[in-house]
């Protein structure tokens, strides 16, 4: 279906080649995963397939790419729409029209498909993706998962043979992600469409895929069955790490496989005791009976929460449950209808300038929002000035998080993970008592996640309290001490991390699922116990 | 008046529906400014003097402009009526735009103009995105402890960067969904030439009009060229339309009532005709049905 023959790609003004002499083939009707570190070129690989690279982006390109026999060098992306379709990282930015139904016909109208065929295809696609009840809704009012499905539907109406998706689940909660992936899997099995997705959260997708393309760096791209690739790959989801930790020769792809093949290996070890936060710790954040409304809509209802120093609290819940509202209200960015928020005994709304940043450090969802300088060096300098700290302080913190980064680079040219480190360094320069992170793992690879986890555990040892909103159960299992679950603006659960995560199937990390009923959370716990047993 | 009634009765909760109130505000503002200017800059003339402002002597090279002086009733009345025309125009346009969904208007456009229309409409939808971006950037500055009210580098640079990035993503998405796709491209030039001749003709006609020449023939001819070029291009355009908007009885009635109003206004002017005019202009209120937008 897709053939790459000696493909080389170089962007002008960039020292390294993006790809060199790449050759591989993807057969028809397969579910293919493209994996690799951030910045390795996963998105570029997808865009090469439908011709957006180099037709739209520029760059020096050699070799041939053929999609069902059609050469992408000779056809513009718009002339390939009947063969290959792409859904971008943030589908909301790519919507052209207002409502779901109009979005579905946008492409077909350009192609000149007759109205009768259009009517029929719209109905078919709406049914296929379970969008029929949403057909007249405006796109902006849809939830993240629904938007993703609408974006998929809007390209499916053109009857493509290949569907490309760039991180389709990175912004979604576990349930919505599952829904989208199940839909994709149905497209592969029922319609014989070839689906190719790039994704970081391997634990979510691995169970569905037939083949993996592993982009290690520009010269080494390997392709094979998931078992072959994951046997040795540097990046692996928890389930594979667990099997490696237990010295099993099996490579389980699904929780079911793992329960059958490797769970017995962990029978004679038991989960470690988790220590609770010392009762003497002082209270950093206290929220009492907080209610926040947006117009008529109640975003948060009667929330009470108290967080002590050295605690790491994860806030979880569906998209739109009120997580971001809760977090932003902690920095005083929201109008409070009722109740109060106090950070180290003061109302955050009244804090400004240096007083605010020494009390609270906030990393927003789009961490790049906090950056505005033209280079990393300038950004660090600005931060020292804004924070009234000795010059070089911010840089010192950054070097600890990220030893090698070119300080002449523009912040927008950094990878997602590097940018997060830079923002963290700036926010931490003043040593805030409370650190708040909104969805920090969006677009982060395992390596960057590890770096983040290390940074956070260091901060906590200096008595800072941390609040994290996240969909990433594996991250939460790794670092949080306490979990607060929100649903429709109310707290539905609040407790110790192992208690909350092991009791709910939606929030359980892979290791928990495999080794249930014993209360394990992470691979590192298993490794630790194994080490103790052997000594 | 009639505009306001018709608009208010057919208003929906869509984002563009607030255009009327904004229009009225702008128009009122223009009216006030015009009145203030009329009072400050006097024009020498006869009439009943209402009050006098102290005259300011202006330098020689500003001859003909008078600052201060007598304010006459006639002049105020004249300026008020003159500005009222502008007021009515602004309110009418605002009313029309508050009722029409820009994307629905697009569906009534001939296929050949559709692509240009899409580009225009996307440009208008960028404004709400701008507003949310500005809000986010302002919040981010607060989070970094920035107390200043405004800073070019910290507010506008990120805003433009974001807008550019958004535009690129959208362009990619449209490109990969067949925007601008053409099945046949060989005969494209013929109708382009036809339209070019038409546009040049219109230009010549305008010049002729300004130099008091005979412009009618040129104008008619060039419009003919333009129209045939458009029709030809339209017939060749392969784009199809999903659920075209039907042209119903109501549309004819609205059109007829406005045509009648224009004719009436052209020929008569007295209190009675004003009343008839008002009724005619309110006609759309009676002949159209309240559209129920699906939630």
Note the pLDDT tens digit of each residue in B229-272: 888 777 776 677 777 766 667 677 777 777 777 676 666 556 66
ipTM above 0.90, yes or no: no
A287 and A206 in one domain? Answer: no
User: Among A497-511, B86-100, B211-225, which range has the highest average pLDDT?
Assistant: A497-511
Query: Does the CB of B246 have a partner CB in chain A at under 8 Å?
Result: no
- Structure-block tokens of residue A528: 């630790």
The reply to whether residue A362 touches residue B240, judged by beta carbons under 8 angstroms, is no
For chain B, the C-alpha Rg in angstroms (whole number) is 26
CA distance B113 to chain A (A): 12
> Which residues 172-191 in chain B show a CB within 8 A of chain A?
172-181, 183
Chain A residues with CB-CB distance to B105 below 8 A: none
Chain B residues with CB-CB distance to A109 below 8 A: 239-242
Q: How far is CA A180 from CA A50, A144, B27, in A?
A: 22, 10, 50
Q: Are A221 and A22 contacting, i.e. CB atoms less than 8 angstroms apart?
A: yes
Helices (H), chain B: 2-10, 19-40, 73-99, 102-107, 114-143, 157-175, 188-210, 216-236, 249-267, 271-287
Query: Does the CB of B167 have a partner CB in chain A at under 8 Å?
Result: no
**Beta strands at A490-496 and A482-487: parallel, antiparallel or unpaired:** antiparallel
Task: Name all contacts of A524-529 with Cβ < 8 Å and 24+ positions apart.
Answer: A524/A478, A525/A271, A525/A272, A526/A242, A526/A245, A526/A246, A526/A266, A526/A269, A527/A245, A528/A272, A529/A269, A529/A270, A529/A271, A529/A272
A197 has which bridge partners?
A: A33, A165
pLDDT at A155: 93
Chain B residues with CB-CB distance to A352 below 8 A: 142, 145, 147
**Beta strands at A60-67 and A70-71: parallel, antiparallel or unpaired:** antiparallel
A263 and A327 in one domain? Answer: no
A382 and A251 in one domain? Answer: no
Residue B242 has its nearest CB partner, among A77, A105, A369, at: A105
Chain A residues with CB-CB distance to B100 below 8 A: none
Q: Which residue has the tokens 């020096």?
A: A60
Q: Is the dihedral of CA B162, B163, B164, B166 positive or negative?
A: positive
pLDDT at A160: 94
Q: Looking at residue A60, which CATH number applies to its domain? A: 3.40.50.300
Q: How far is CA A56 from CA A46, A73, A77, A111, in A?
A: 13, 12, 9, 20
A450 and A398 in one domain? Answer: yes
SS3 of A212, please? strand
Distance CA A142, CA A129 (A): 14
The reply to whether residue A369 touches residue B137, judged by beta carbons under 8 angstroms, is yes
Chain A to chain B Cβ contacts (< 8 Å)? 139
Which string of DSSP letters, residue by residue, matches A408-452?
A: TS-GGGS-HHHHHHHHHHHHHTT--SEEEEESTTTT--HHHHHHH
Closest to B145 measured CA to CA, from A433, A387, A346: A387
pLDDT at B290: 44
Mutate to test the interface with B, among A56, A78, A368 (most CBs of B within 10 A): A78
User: Quick one: which H or E segment has residue A144?
Assistant: helix A144-156
- By C-alpha distance, the chain B residue nearest A384 is B144
Distance CA A385, CA A354 (A): 10
A312 has which bridge partners?
A: A466
CA distance B295 to chain A (A): 6
CA distance A434 to chain B (A): 13
SS3 of B183, please? coil
User: Quick one: which H or E segment has residue A354?
Assistant: helix A353-359
On whether residue A483 sits in a domain, the answer given is yes
Q: Residues 6 or more apart from A130 whose CB is under 8 A from it?
A: A149, A183
The reply to whether residue B176 touches residue A86, judged by beta carbons under 8 angstroms, is yes
Q: Exposed, middle or buried: residue B10 (CB in 10 Å: 0-12, 13-18, 19+)? A: middle
Distance CA A492, CA A502 (A): 15
A220 and A126 in one domain? Answer: yes
Distance CA B112, CA B191 (A): 11
pLDDT at A315: 95
A444 and A377 in one domain? Answer: yes
Phi, psi of A197 (to 5 degrees): -125, 145
Q: Average pLDDT for residues B216-222, to the nearest whole number?
A: 82
On whether residue A276 sits in a domain, the answer given is no
Distance CA A512, CA A503 (A): 10
pLDDT at A326: 94
Closest to A371 measured CA to CA, from A361, A360, A362, A383: A383
Number of residues in chain A: 535
Distance CA A450, CA A444 (A): 10
The reply to whether residue A333 touches residue B122, judged by beta carbons under 8 angstroms, is no
SS3 of A85, please? strand
Closest to B128 measured CA to CA, from B15, B18, B22: B15
CA distance A506 to chain B (A): 31
A378 and A522 in one domain? Answer: no
> Which residues 252-291 in chain B show a CB within 8 A of chain A?
none
Residue B183 has its nearest CB partner, among A86, A112, A119, at: A112
A492 and A518 in one domain? Answer: no
Q: Exposed, middle or buried: residue B189 (CB in 10 Å: 0-12, 13-18, 19+)? A: exposed
The reply to whether residue B147 touches residue A102, judged by beta carbons under 8 angstroms, is no
pLDDT at B275: 66
pLDDT at A193: 94
A222 and A179 in one domain? Answer: yes
A377 and A292 in one domain? Answer: yes
Q: In what order do the strands lie in the sheet containing A31-35? A: A84-87, A162-166, A194-198, A31-35, A211-217, A220-224
Q: Are A137 and A169 contacting, i.e. CB atoms less than 8 angstroms apart?
A: no
The reply to whether residue A88 touches residue B169, judged by beta carbons under 8 angstroms, is yes
Residue span of the structural domain in which A98 resides: 2-235
Q: Are A155 and A86 contacting, i.e. CB atoms less than 8 angstroms apart?
A: yes
pLDDT at B292: 37
- Structure-block tokens of residue A235: 């990046």
CA distance A17 to chain B (A): 23
- CA angle, residues A316, A317, A319, in degrees to nearest 5: 120
Provide the pLDDT confidence category of residue B293 given band limits of 50, 70 and 90.
very low
Residues of B96-130 as b/e, b for ≥16 C-beta within 10 angstroms? bbbbebebeeebeeebbebbebbeeeeeebeeeee
Q: In what order do the strands lie in the sheet containing A465-469? A: A360-363, A434-438, A465-469, A312-316, A482-487, A490-496
- Structure-block tokens of residue A276: 């609770």
- Structure-block tokens of residue A429: 């320069």
Q: Average pLDDT for residues B194-208, to the nearest whole number?
A: 86
Q: Which residue has the tokens 């039907």?
A: B246
Q: Are A257 and A516 contacting, i.e. CB atoms less than 8 angstroms apart?
A: no
pLDDT at A495: 92
The reply to whether residue B176 touches residue A81, judged by beta carbons under 8 angstroms, is yes
Residue B277, Ramachandran bin (φ over 0: left; ψ between -120 and 50: alpha; else beta): alpha
**Beta strands at A84-87 and A162-166: parallel, antiparallel or unpaired:** parallel
Q: Residues 6 or more apart from A46 whose CB is under 8 A from it?
A: A34, A86, A164, A165, A166, A196, A198
Residue B186 clears pLDDT 80, i.e. is over it: no
Tens digit of pLDDT at every position of chain A (535 positions)? 899 999 999 887 777 778 888 899 999 999 999 998 877 888 889 999 999 998 888 889 999 999 999 999 999 898 899 899 999 888 888 888 888 998 999 889 888 889 899 999 999 999 988 899 999 998 888 888 889 999 999 999 999 999 999 999 888 888 889 989 999 999 999 999 999 999 989 999 999 999 999 998 767 889 999 999 998 888 899 999 999 988 888 889 999 999 998 888 888 888 887 766 666 678 999 999 999 998 888 899 999 999 998 899 999 998 888 999 999 999 999 999 999 999 999 999 998 888 899 999 999 988 888 888 889 999 999 888 888 888 888 998 888 888 878 888 888 888 778 888 899 999 999 899 999 999 888 778 888 888 899 889 888 888 899 999 999 999 999 999 999 999 999 999 999 998 899 988 888 999 999 998 888 899 988 988 888 887 7
- Structure-block tokens of residue B134: 């500005």
The reply to whether residue B139 touches residue A102, judged by beta carbons under 8 angstroms, is no
Distance CA A309, CA A282 (A): 6
Distance CA A496, CA A504 (A): 13
Chain A residues with CB-CB distance to B137 below 8 A: 369
Q: Is the dihedral of CA A167, A61, B166, B238 positive or negative?
A: negative
Q: Are A143 and A320 contacting, i.e. CB atoms less than 8 angstroms apart?
A: yes
User: Quick one: which H or E segment has residue A400?
Assistant: helix A393-401
Phi, psi of A490 (to 5 degrees): -125, 155
- Structure-block tokens of residue B1: 């008046």
A517 and A417 in one domain? Answer: no
Distance CA A180, CA A208 (A): 12
Q: Where do the domains of chain B lie?
A: 2-102, 109-175, 188-236, 249-287
CA distance B156 to chain A (A): 10
- CA angle, residues B104, B109, B115, in degrees to nearest 5: 95
Distance CA A514, CA A239 (A): 8
CA distance A117 to chain B (A): 10
A315 and A204 in one domain? Answer: no
Q: What's the number of domains chain A is made of?
A: 3
């Amino acid at each position: 279906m897709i053939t790459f023959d000696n493909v080389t790609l170089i962007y002008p003004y960039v020292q390294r080649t993006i790809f060199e002499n790449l050759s591989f083939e993807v057969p028809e009707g397969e579910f293919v995963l493209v994996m690799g570190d951030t910045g390795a070129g996963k998105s570029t690989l997808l865009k090469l397939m439908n011709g957006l690279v180099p037709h739209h982006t520029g760059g020096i390109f050699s070799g041939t790419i053929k999609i069902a026999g059609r050469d992408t060098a000779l056809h513009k992306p718009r002339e390939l729409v009947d063969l290959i379709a792409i859904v971008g990282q943030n589908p909301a930015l790519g919507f052209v029209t207002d409502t779901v139904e109009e979005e579905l016909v946008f492409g077909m109208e350009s192609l000149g498909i007759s109205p009768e065929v259009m009517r029929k295809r719209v109905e078919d696609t709406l049914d296929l993706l379970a969008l029929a009840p949403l057909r007249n809704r405006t796109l902006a009012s849809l939830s993240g998962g629904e938007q993703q499905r609408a974006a998929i539907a809007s390209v499916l109406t053109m009857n493509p043979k290949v569907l490309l998706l760039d991180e389709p689940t990175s912004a979604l909660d576990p349930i919505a992600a599952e829904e989208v992936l199940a839909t994709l899997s149905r497209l592969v099995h029922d319609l014989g469409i070839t689906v190719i997705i790039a994704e970081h959260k391997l634990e979510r997708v691995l169970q569905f895929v037939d083949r993996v393309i592993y982009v290690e760096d520009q010269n080494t791209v390997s392709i094979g069955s998931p078992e072959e690739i994951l046997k040795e790959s540097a990046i692996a989801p928890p389930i594979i790490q667990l099997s490696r930790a237990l010295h099993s020769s099996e490579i389980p792809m699904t929780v079911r496989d793992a329960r059958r093949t490797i769970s017995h290996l962990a029978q004679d070890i038991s989960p470690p005791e988790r220590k609770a936060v010392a009762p003497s710790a002082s209270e950093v954040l206290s929220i009492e009976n907080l209610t926040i409304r947006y117009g008529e809509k109640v975003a948060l209802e009667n929330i009470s929460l108290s967080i002590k120093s050295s605690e790491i609290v994860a806030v979880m819940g569906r998209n739109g449950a009120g997580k971001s509202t809760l977090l932003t209200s902690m920095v005083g960015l929201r109008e409070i209808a009722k109740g109060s928020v106090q950070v180290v005994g003061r109302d955050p709304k009244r804090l400004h300038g240096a007083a605010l940043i020494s009390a609270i450090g906030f990393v927003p969802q789009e961490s790049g929002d906090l950056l505005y300088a033209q280079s990393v060096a300038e950004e660090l300098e600005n931060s020292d000035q804004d924070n009234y700290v000795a010059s070089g302080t911010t840089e010192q913190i950054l070097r600890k998080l990220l030893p090698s980064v070119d300080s002449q680079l523009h912040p927008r040219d950094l990878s997602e993970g590097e940018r997060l480190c830079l923002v963290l360094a700036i926010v931490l320069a003043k040593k805030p008592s409370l650190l708040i992170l909104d969805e920090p793992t969006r677009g982060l690879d395992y390596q960057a996640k590890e770096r983040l986890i290390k940074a956070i555990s260091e901060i906590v040892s200096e008595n800072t309290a941390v609040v994290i909103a996240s969909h990433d159960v594996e991250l939460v299992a790794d670092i949080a001490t306490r979990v607060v679950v929100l649903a429709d603006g109310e707290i539905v659960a609040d407790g110790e991390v192992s208690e909350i995560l092991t009791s709910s199937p939606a929030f359980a990390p892979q290791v928990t699922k495999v080794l249930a009923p014993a209360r394990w959370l992470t691979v590192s716990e298993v490794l630790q116990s194994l080490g103790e047993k052997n000594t | 008046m009639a505009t306001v009634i018709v608009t208010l009765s057919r208003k929906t909760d869509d984002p563009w529906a607030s255009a009327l109130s904004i229009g009225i505000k702008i128009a009122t503002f223009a009216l006030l400014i015009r009145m203030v200017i009329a009072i400050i800059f006097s024009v020498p003339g006869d009439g009943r003097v209402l009050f006098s402002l102290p005259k300011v002597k202006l330098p020689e090279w500003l001859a003909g402009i008078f600052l201060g002086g007598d304010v006459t009733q006639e002049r105020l009345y004249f300026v008020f009526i003159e500005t009222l025309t502008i007021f009515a125009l602004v309110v009418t346009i605002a009313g029309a735009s508050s009722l029409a969904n820009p994307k629905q208007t697009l569906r009534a456009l001939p296929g050949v103009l559709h692509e240009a229309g899409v580009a225009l409409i996307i440009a208008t939808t960028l404004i709400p995105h701008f507003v949310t971006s500005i809000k986010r950037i302002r919040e981010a500055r607060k989070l970094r402890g920035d107390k200043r009210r405004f800073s070019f580098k910290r507010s506008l640079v990120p805003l433009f960067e974001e807008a550019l990035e958004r535009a690129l993503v959208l362009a990619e998405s449209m490109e990969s969904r067949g925007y601008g796709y053409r099945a046949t491209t060989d005969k494209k030039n013929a109708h382009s030439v036809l339209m070019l001749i038409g546009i040049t003709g219109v230009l010549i006609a305008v010049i002729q009009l300004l130099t008091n020449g005979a412009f009618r023939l040129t104008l008619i001819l060039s419009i003919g060229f333009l129209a045939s070029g458009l029709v030809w291009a339209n017939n060749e355009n392969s784009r199809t339309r999903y659920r075209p908007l039907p042209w119903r009885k109501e549309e004819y009635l609205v059109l007829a009532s406005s045509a009648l109003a224009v004719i009436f206004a052209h020929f008569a002017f007295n209190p009675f005709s004003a009343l008839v005019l008002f009724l005619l202009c309110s006609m759309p209120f009676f002949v159209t049905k309240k559209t129920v937008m699906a939630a």
